[in-house]
Structure 1
Amino acid sequence: SIIKTAGKRYLKIPKLGYVKTSKTGVLQNTKIKRYTVLLEPTGKYYLSLQAEISEPEKYSLTGKQVGIDVGIADLAILSNGLKYPSFNSSYFEKKAKIWQKKYSRRRHLVKLLVLQDRNKRVLCPRSLESFTNWQKAQKSKAKYQAKAANQRRDYLHKLTTHLVKQYDVIAIEDLKTKNLQKNHHLAKSIANASWRMFRQMLEYKCEWYGKKLIAVDPKNTSRICSKCGYNSGAKPLEIREWICPKCQTKHDRDINAAVNILHKGSTKPTGQGLTMVTS
């Protein structure tokens, strides 16, 4: 049996029948190969589809290229001086943390009551499922976690689509996120900034829409003066601006790194310290 669209907001699923959905317009004249029904911890059902679709239309060329340095306070710093902030999920994280504490405490108390019934050998001992307060706390915790994840993903989609529309060539750092997260002082901030997801979205959108993504070796990008090429050495993270000792040019640390990334991406041939992802 194959899943079918039935009207604007209905799908006909084998064994389940007609199910109301959020939207089905994009599925018109689309061959659906496989589907999976998922029950999320929030209690909501989601339908995951594998379908054959036509190739998306290519974006028109703009003749522009840009280098991007990723950061924690600002997710993307462009070589032309523009900065895009990281998604702020502090409110949802705070709420999730509160409900995580409630969930842990309630579940612990329920376990004690279940164990008490078992030790007293009561006629009808209670089970974990017979208590609903801890389950409500679990759903509330999952709801805030999902809210933060969905809004972060939406923000990254909008940002990456905007960048791919604006620029024909995008140069980024070839960062090893797993290695960076071994630094326990920065691991949580790096995870919240979603560098990995940001790069993955850029990769497949550049491939879809006929643009070019170049990943360059990040070595010395924040140390070299983008004007004269002088390497002034390593600098502590708290230093955000510095003056080149050779040419006396004042640099914003992140913008300077983005310019160096663009220089590396536009001057080095593919295969020498960089990876090219293209359509």
Structure 2
Amino acid sequence: MAEPLDIVWSRPLPEGAEPSTVTVSRDPAGRWHVSILVETTIIHAPPTDHVVGVDAGITSLVTLSTGDKITNPKHERRDRERLARAQRALARKEKGSANRVKARLRVARVHARIADRRRDLLHKLTTRLVRENQLVVIEDLAVRNMLRNGSLARAISDASWSDLRSMLEYKCDWYGRDLVVVDRWLPSSKTCSDCGYVLDTLPLHVREWTCDCGARHDRDVNAARNILAAGQAVTACGAGVRPTRR
């Protein structure tokens, strides 16, 4: 091939950086990727007084202690019918045939489309949270255990809470922010963020509730505020910040 390749750069190389390793790979969807390793220094973001608590969910991907809610686009659900058609077409193709190879690529491209859109949203969301806030507080969710719930497993996988946490961890480290992970057993939804009263029970279908003190709470916003308060208490007391992940 005499002419140059049609390459789409995800980002420019740091000025003056010399690549030490170049890795060429091909994903299941047939796309070629070139990964270039360079040594560079990431500049910390300017300090800010803003702090935020983050409550992960399904209907709202995240709810912030500020009251903002980020709607969950449910990428897998939106492309579920397209994926099912591609998988049915693949199942009908004869093994070893050229048509089966083409059908397999169509299935892989649908999966890649879902994964790319999900990853793009998570990167934009986590970058925004880290740039705008000096302290980010999240909850230590047992995602692996939650996936055992057959009725919610697909939705939880699509929300990709583990990737959300991983991105927050390394971006906070890069940009000089503080990340606090509070105990998963914190009754964040059942505790009144105004007076501290804790309900005995709060069924999952109850999205709003009123405390005896008169405060009316949105379940997710109230949880995010309690998560933030717990994180600030951990920071002030110097307790363990990040629970052990297994």
Provide structure 1 residue ranges, at least 5 long, that are not aligned to the other structure. 1-17, 112-127
Q: Which has the higher strand share?
A: 1
Which residue is equivalent to 2:72? Answer: 86
Return the alpha-carbon distance in structure 2 between the equivalents of residues 242 and 147 of structure 1.
Answer: 39
Return the alpha-carbon distance in structure 2 between the equivalents of residues 189 and 233 of structure 1.
Answer: 27
Return the alpha-carbon distance in structure 2 between the equivalents of residues 83 and 188 of structure 1.
Answer: 21
Corresponding residue SS for 2:151: coil
Using structure 1 for the length normalisation, give the TM-score.
Answer: 0.79
Which residue, out of 54, 70, 80, partners 2:56?
70
Which residue is equivalent to 1:150? Answer: 116
The alignment's C-alpha RMSD in Å is 2.0
2:228 pairs with 1:271: no
Shift of 1:101: 1.1
Using structure 2 for the length normalisation, give the TM-score.
Answer: 0.89
Corresponding residue SS for 1:32: coil
Provide structure 2 residue ranges, at least 5 long, that are not aligned to the other structure. none
Return the alpha-carbon distance in structure 1 between the equivalents of residues 225 and 64 of structure 2.
Answer: 8
Q: List aligned pairs for 1:125-136, cutoff 5 A.
A: 128=96, 131-136=97-102
Q: Note the alpha carbon deviations across 1:210-245, whole angstroms, 9 max, x for none.
A: 11110001321111111111111222211101111x
Residues 102 and 270 (structure 1 numbering): CA distance in 2 closer, same or farther, change over 3 Å? Answer: farther
2:223 pairs with 1:257: yes
Contact kept, 8 Å, 1:221 with 1:260, in 2: the verdict is yes
2:149 pairs with 1:163: no
AA in 1 matched with 2:227: I
Return the alpha-carbon distance in structure 2 between the equivalents of residues 25 and 253 of structure 1.
Answer: 43
Which residue is equivalent to 2:18? Answer: 31
Corresponding residue SS for 2:55: strand
Larger radius of gyration: 1
Shift of 1:190: 0.8
AA in 1 matched with 2:26: L
Corresponding residue SS for 2:38: strand
Task: Choose 68-77 or 177-186, whichever is displaced more.
Answer: 177-186
Return the alpha-carbon distance in structure 2 between the equivalents of residues 213 and 80 of structure 1.
Answer: 17
2:198 pairs with 1:212: no
Contact kept, 8 Å, 1:240 with 1:254, in 2: the verdict is yes
